[in-house]
Amino acid sequence: SVVEDEIRAVMAQVLRLPVDRIGADAAIGNLPNWDSTAHMRMMLALEDAFGITLDETHMVEMTGLARIRATVEALQAVKSRGA
C-alpha cells in the first residue's frame, strides 16, 4: 500500500537502512539500529510524514511495521472524518 511504502521509507531513513531491509516482519527486536532513541525519532518522523499526533500509548504499541501501519491508518481515518 502507499501508506506502508511511506512508513517503510520513514523507517529506513531513521534507521539508516536500505528500504528493502524493512520487510513485513520488521520490528524493534529484529532490525539493526532500532533502539529507544531511534524509536522516538521514528515516531516524530511518522507524525510529520502523515500529519498525525501519536500519544504515549501509541508509541509504546508501535513496535513493528504491522502495528505502525494499523495505527497510522486508524489515525488518518479519524483525521479525515474531521474529528
C-alpha cell, 59: 508509541
Three-state DSSP class for residue 52: coil
Please tell me whether the overall predicted TM-score, pTM, comes out greater than 0.85 for this model: yes
Quote the pLDDT of residue 79. 87
Quote the pLDDT of residue 72. 97
Quote the pLDDT of residue 83. 55
Quote the pLDDT of residue 82. 77
Q: What whole-number distance in Å separates Cα of residue 21 and Cα of residue 70?
A: 20
> In which residue ranges of the chain is pLDDT below 50?
none
Work out the number of other CB atoms within 10 angstroms of the CB of residue 4: 16
